[in-house]
Every structure is written in C-alpha cells, then in structure tokens.
Amino acid sequence: MNAKQRTILFLIADTGAGHRSAANAIRNALHLISQQEQDEWLQRSDAEAGSEEKQAPPPHYNVEIVDVFEEYSRFPLREFVKLYGPAIRYNPKLYGDVFHLSNRVGTVTAVNTMTTPLLLNGLKRLIISVQPDIIVSIHPMINHVTIRALRSLGLKIPFLTVVTDLVSVHHFWLAEGADGYILPTEEAKKLYLERGLDPKRMHVLGMPIDPKFSRPIASKEELRQKFGLTPGLPVILLVGGGDGAGGLQTAVKAISQARLPVQLLVVTGRNKRLYANLQRTRTRLHVPAQIFGFVDNMPELMHAADVLITKAGPGTICEALACNLPLILSGYVPGQEEGNVDFVVQNGVGVLALDPRTLVNELRKLIKPGSKVLQQRLENAKALSRPEASFDIARCILSYIPANQEMDPWESPQWLRRQRHLTERLRSAVRLRPLSARFPHTLLKNPATRRSTQTHDLSDISDVWETNKRK
C-alpha cells in the first residue's frame, strides 16, 4: 500500500526573522511527528506480518514555506513590505504610530482594498500550482486576501492563522472566515473574543518555537565547559534578535563599565557591523566576553546562561521561558511589542530596562548569591513556558486535513468545472502542476521558469530543463 502525501502550504513574509522561524519550527515538529507515525506503523506491520488485513501507512507531509510578498505580489507592495526592517531600526516611533493608527477595522478594510489587487492573482497562481491540502498563514497581512482567493477559486481548503504576537494582536491577524485561529496566550484569546469571532475556531496553544527547545540537552555544567566558560561565574546571554538590534552594544558597554562579576555570551545575529565592532573592542572590556554572529545552537546558549538580556521579540521570550531563563528586556518595537513587555513584567519573569543604569541594577539583583528574585522568576518562567507548543500546533493543523481521500478538493467535479472559467494566466498554473513530477522542484523555482509560466509558454520550461541537463 502506498502512503498518501499531504501538502501543507505556509504563507509568510520575511519582515523580520520571526515569521519564518515560526514556520520552520512547525515544519520541524511536523517532520518529527511524521517520523514517529512511520515508526509506529512499521512496528504494527511487523506485529501483523501474518495477518491478511494491514493498516494503510501514514501520510507523508510535504511542507511548502513561501514568502508571498517577495515571490507573488506586484510592485509597489513587494517593495513596501521591505520597509519594515529600516522602519523599526531607524524610526521605531513612527512605526509605532502607524501600528496604532491602523489597528482598527476601518483602516484594515481600506488597506485591504488597496493591497488586494496587488496580491490576489499571484496568490491564486501559488495555490493552484502547489495544490495544498491545507493553508496556514503566519503573517497578519496575508489572511484577508487568502480567504478571498479561496472563495474566488471556489475551493474548500482548510485555512488556519497562526498568530505570532503574544499580546498586541493587530486587527489584520484576525480575518473573519478562517477555519481556525491558533493563539499564543490567554491575553490574545481575550482580544479574539472581544472582536466577536467564533470561540469554537480558537485554539490557545502557545508560540511556535523550534522543537530543539523541548528536547533533552546536556547539563548546565557540561555546556559551560563546552563553551570554555569560567566555573562559578554567572553567565549573561545578550541577544538582539535575527538582525542584532535591541541596544546590544550599549548593554555590553554598561556591564563592562560597572565591572560586574559576570561573563558574557553575545549573539549579534545578522548584524555583521556590530559583530565586527564587538570583536574589535572585546579585549578592552572589563568582563570576559564571547561574541557570536548568527547561531543555530540557541538552546545550548540559553541553557548555559543564568540571565537573558534581549529586546522584546515574542520568539526569543518564549524560547527563554522554555529554558527557564529570567529576562531583562533592553528594548521593544513600539506598538507591535508593547504587549510583550507587559506579558513579561506582569507574569513576573522579567523587567524592562531601557537605560544602562536600570539594566545594571536589575542585573545585580539577579546575580546576587542566593537571590530570591532570581528564584522567583525561575519558578514563574517554568510555570509559564510551553516548550511543546510547536508539536501542539502541528497536531492541530493536521487535525484540519480531511482524512478521506475522496474529499480531495483538487479532484472534485466542482473544481474540474471551475477550471474552465479561469483566466489563461491561472490555467497556466494548472498546466504547470503535472510538470512538477517530471521536472526538479528547484527548476520550477528558477526565475527563467517563472517568467515562462507568466507568459503562458510552458514549452520554454522544457528548454530550461534541457539546458540545465546539458550543464
């Protein structure tokens, strides 16, 4: 018996690193769940080797993660969303003002009216070419247009929204018409209910973080030995997010000038200039420090540390909680991350320290031998953490996929009839689908291939394929 394949399409935008990180975390959880299902099925098959009736194998999960704005939107929308990074870095107050002014139903409706024509047809082509069994959005500005695209195509495909803002849930997130809404916190649940959405479609499951944060790991002593840290000296981890923002250099300088009895692990992310500056000045610091760029072993660094200093990004906060790590927030994005600060402070797992003096004073409280403040925050973090959230979210997503193969919307008579009414450009996406079995997936993402499909001449794809074969 052949295993079925289920395709899960994640819609994201690379405005910051958080949306892709959340999608990757759920994808990794799906991979582990699939492995477990396959192992359990093999064990049952071995036990039932002599039986005439055998269970069908579990499905394989094909996960597609697509930056919708970058790959399928039109100018100027594609360029507009790229302003997010510069805005929060160089004029965060303006970004906060825009966030608050747009966080109302009327503004959301107006923005959707302007942006939908720049994205709708591209999104339709994406859906038709991938032919997913379920669609999951992990970006607020994609939700309304995806619901409209599915209705326009007449497809009954489950559509879910995974909210990745802990508290400050913008109106863009909660588009009416989704089949399910996965929320990270009770505070987000309250806003959801206030907006009059169906309670039966709501799932409060936590923030998706990489499954590595829930797996067994070496002891703190072993990890400190691995990183060459001094035994008995408190370890402070400083993280600025994927782009290395959040006042890292100021925090490092303040700790050094205070000559605190600590050692530092500093992660600068993708900020190469900050990494170079800190490496150049590291020997002049009054505290031992190790400087890292972008890392893929954050669970080890967090478990080796005693305190985390970071900006108020939701992913980093939840990763710290999963490692039972108390927080000092050194900054936040106005509007979007204001609620995250309240979440940390009100739940007693950390404080906000916007100036160097406050940061140093708060750090002194935590590194004091036998600190009761530290112990209380550790207990609060343990009670608040949800290290298995990605698995819970992955299972929730799978529960929305129809189990009966006969319910496949792409094989239904309604969809086959619907194809006759599609525009020629959308029909080209339908014709492209059978080629995916013949041509490599990387080729179908080749810019030359994409241009060929947009001009409806699929024979050009064969030319690209033959050229690549000869190379």
User: Mind listing the domains of the chain with CATH numbers?
Assistant: 5-208+390-403 (3.40.50.2000), 212-386 (3.40.50.2000)
Query: Per DSSP, which regions of 209-363 are E strands?
Result: 235-239, 263-267, 289-292, 307-311, 327-331, 350-352
Give this prediction's pTM: 0.86
Q: What is the mean pLDDT of the chain?
A: 86
Residue 456, pLDDT > 70, answer no
37-46, 100-109, 196-205: least confident range = 37-46
Separation of alpha carbons 1 and 46, rounded Å: 15
* Token representation of residue 268: 């600068």
Q: Which pLDDT belongs to residue 2? A: 60
Residue pair 330/258 in contact (Cβ under 8 Å)? The answer is no
How many other C-beta atoms can be found within 10 angstroms of the C-beta atom of residue 409?
Answer: 19
From residue 430, how far is each of 155, 415, 425, 463 by CA, in Å? 14, 11, 9, 19
The runs of H, that is alpha helices, within 368-422 are 372-384, 389-399, 413-418
Residue 25, pLDDT > 60, answer yes
Q: For the residues 350-367, what does the mean pLDDT come to? A: 94
Three-state DSSP state, 203: strand
Pairing verdict, β 159-162 and 180-183 = parallel
Q: Which residues contact 30 (CB under 8 A, 6 or more apart)?
A: 8, 61, 63, 394, 397, 398
More confident residue, 271 or 49: 271
Q: For 43-91, write each residue's pLDDT tens digit.
A: 887 776 656 566 778 888 999 999 999 899 988 888 888 878 778 778 8
Residue pair 390/28 in contact (Cβ under 8 Å)? The answer is yes
CA proximity to 152, closest of 124, 113, 176: 124
Separation of alpha carbons 30 and 12, rounded Å: 17
Q: Which pLDDT belongs to residue 172? A: 93
How many CA within 13 A on the CB side of residue 15?
22
Q: Which residues contact 435 (CB under 8 A, 6 or more apart)?
A: 444, 458, 461
pLDDT range class, residue 453, cuts 50, 70, 90: very low
Place of tokens 């047809």: 121
CA proximity to 386, closest of 164, 161, 185: 185
Q: For 144-183, write each residue's pLDDT tens digit.
A: 999 999 999 988 899 999 999 999 999 999 999 999 999 9
